[in-house]
Amino acid sequence: MRSWDRISAVGLCLGLGLLAAASGCREAAPAPVMPPPSVVVATPIVREVIEWDYFTGRLQAVETVEVRSRVSGYLEEIHFKDGDMVAEGDLLFTIDPRPYEAARDQAAARLEQARAQLELARREQNRSAQLVRRNAETQEEYDIKASQVRQAEADVAAAEAALEAAELDVEFCTIEAPVSGRIGRHLVTVGNLVNGESGQATLLATIVSLDPIHVYFDANERDYLKYVRRSQEGSLPSSRDFATPVAIQLADEEGFPHRGRMDFVDNRVDQFTGTMRGRAILPNPDGVLTPGLFARVRLPGSAPYEATLLPDGSIIRDQNQAFVFVLDAEGKVARRRVELGRAVAGLRIIQHGVGPEDRVIIEGIQSLRDGMEVRPEEGTIEVDEELWAREMPIEDPYPPDSGAVGFAAGRRFAP
């Protein structure tokens, strides 16, 4: 029995020893080490940009004229087709002139009568003067004759004015286009009586001029103040003083093919909308720009300058902040806060935070943190040149005829 107990004790000791040895082996096994994550790094690209500003505008005719009758009478004839292009001076309507021609002839006859009375009065005055010199007539009688001459002269002047008014009435029976442009539909048909009295004159048609044409748009307070500040700094000429170039795009167009210039900025901000009204004028020789159409308006918000750009996908946004990951001198990840500009062709202008020589992580930014070691692979930032050309046309926003000097070369405004 004792022999069996000794065997059991020895077995138990051996088992415990093996268990302890096995446990020690497991504790000594090293944990697997994860390799550093792979990332793609690239230096930012630098390109010349212009900060174009965009607004929604509406086209409006430079001249909008209501064609109204200036005399009353029956409409006798219409000389245009609805919707025609008309030139200034084209005949549009004819009102029956016969009553006014008769009134003109009557006024002419009254003028002849007044002239005859004047001639008679002057003869009477001359006779009276001779009689006064021979003491055959009193001075009082001569004065009466002289007064009759002055009265006859006034009658002639009144008759001449009446004849001129009658001739104008005859002239007003033919209504001509006051401006060149496109005429709308006729609002009165032949045979109807039209009214020519002031304040109640019958509206016959409307004409809108087409070439040139205006586009009106509104800028919010922030944009307006930006223009004011840059003008005061000398980095941007004021549209109040210079013909700032403008380009517009219609709803079905690519690019901004229509070019014009600023010709008006309002004198105050609208207190209800908080916007400042601006206006540009554009040539419209083919008449495509039609009053009432919406248009996208493009204005230069800066002179050309060299900008640093990164892919928009390499930027991390955290509430009101934006940052990127760069590689520091030791090749480790460093978080860098950046100030963003506008987006262009899938890229983002970086105003502050990184320079053209920084190595920025553009791919594999997930789960990165400060101080991490990574396996960098060199990459490049690709640019869609066709899209870039559409979104960032580089041209002199202030050509010589605008009055502003040197902006395309990045120089300050020389007043």
Is residue 215 domain-shared with residue 153, that is, in the same domain? no
Is residue 128 domain-shared with residue 153, that is, in the same domain? yes
Q: Model pTM?
A: 0.72
Residue 41's identity, in one-letter code, is: V
Does a structural domain hold residue 116? Answer: yes
Does a structural domain hold residue 183? Answer: yes
Q: Is 403's pLDDT higher than 80?
A: no
pLDDT, residue 318, reads: 84
Is residue 58 domain-shared with residue 70, that is, in the same domain? no
pLDDT, residue 166, reads: 94
The residue ranking higher by pLDDT, 329 or 206, is: 206
Is residue 340 domain-shared with residue 293, that is, in the same domain? no
The residue ranking higher by pLDDT, 393 or 410, is: 393
Q: What is the mean pLDDT of residues 245-269?
A: 92
Give the structural domain span for 197. Answer: 65-96+173-208
Is residue 221 domain-shared with residue 350, that is, in the same domain? no
pLDDT, residue 55, reads: 95
The residue ranking higher by pLDDT, 235 or 244, is: 244
Is residue 144 domain-shared with residue 75, that is, in the same domain? no
Within a 10 A sphere around the Cβ of 326, how many other Cβ atoms? 18
> What is the count of structural domains for the chain?
4
Nearest Cα to Cα of residue 360 among 341, 384, 338: 338
Does a structural domain hold residue 182? Answer: yes
pLDDT, residue 371, reads: 87
Tokens of 242: 């210079």
CA separation for the pair 30, 57 (Å, rounded): 70
pLDDT-based confidence at residue 251 (cuts at 50, 70, 90): very high
Q: Is 30's pLDDT higher than 70?
A: no
pLDDT, residue 78, reads: 96
Percent of the chain with pLDDT strictly greater than 70: 87
The residue ranking higher by pLDDT, 411 or 125, is: 125
Does a structural domain hold residue 115? Answer: yes
CATH of the domain at 343: 2.40.420.20
Relative to beta strand 38-42, strand 375-378 is parallel
Domain boundary at 152, 187, 208, which? Answer: 208
Does a structural domain hold residue 33? Answer: no
Is residue 288 domain-shared with residue 315, that is, in the same domain? no
pLDDT, residue 236, reads: 80
pLDDT, residue 261, reads: 93
Is residue 278 domain-shared with residue 223, that is, in the same domain? yes
CATH of the domain at 237: 2.40.30.170
Does a structural domain hold residue 358? Answer: yes
Angle 66-214-230 from CA coordinates, rounded to 5°: 145
pLDDT-based confidence at residue 13 (cuts at 50, 70, 90): very low
Does a structural domain hold residue 331? Answer: yes
Is residue 295 domain-shared with residue 195, that is, in the same domain? no
Is residue 274 domain-shared with residue 355, that is, in the same domain? no
pLDDT-based confidence at residue 319 (cuts at 50, 70, 90): confident
Tokens of 49: 């940009």
**Three-class SS string for the chain?**
CHHHHHHHHHHHHHHHHHHHHHHHHHHHCCCCCCCCCEEEEECCEEEEECCEEEEEEEEEECCEEEEECCCCEEEEEECCCCCCEECCCCEEEEECCHHHHHHHHHHHHHHHHHHHHHHHHHHHHHHHHHHHHCCCCCHHHHHHHHHHHHHHHHHHHHHHHHHHHHHHHHHHCEEECCCCEEECCCCCCCCCEECCCCCCCCEEEEEECCCCEEEEEEEEHHHHHHHHHHHHHCCCCCCCCCCCEEEEECCCCCCCCEEEEEEEECCCCCCCCCEEEEEEEECCCCCCCCCCCEEEEEEECCCCEEEEEEEHHHCEEECCEEEEEEECCCCEEEEEEEEEEEEECCEEEEEECCCCCCCEEEECCCCCCCCCECEEEECCCCCCHHHHHHHCCCCCCCCHHHCCCCCCCCCCCCC
Q: Is 9's pLDDT higher than 60?
A: no
Nearest Cα to Cα of residue 54 among 264, 220, 253: 220
Q: Is 32's pLDDT higher than 80?
A: no
Domain boundary at 299, 327, 348, which? Answer: 299
CATH of the domain at 140: 1.10.287
Is residue 353 domain-shared with residue 289, that is, in the same domain? no
Query: pLDDT (tens digit, 9 = 90+) per residue, 341-395?
Result: 888 888 999 999 999 999 999 998 888 888 888 889 999 999 988 888 888 876 6
pLDDT, residue 127, reads: 83
pLDDT, residue 399, reads: 55
Does a structural domain hold residue 190? Answer: yes
pLDDT, residue 391, reads: 81
Burial class (CB in 10 A: 0-12, 13-18, 19+), 87: exposed
Query: pLDDT (tens digit, 9 = 90+) per residue, 60-108?
Result: 999 999 999 999 999 999 999 999 999 999 999 999 999 999 999 999 9
Is residue 132 domain-shared with residue 117, that is, in the same domain? yes
Q: Is 235's pLDDT higher than 80?
A: no
Domain boundary at 118, 140, 170, which? Answer: 170
pLDDT, residue 31, reads: 60
Q: Is 10's pLDDT higher than 60?
A: no
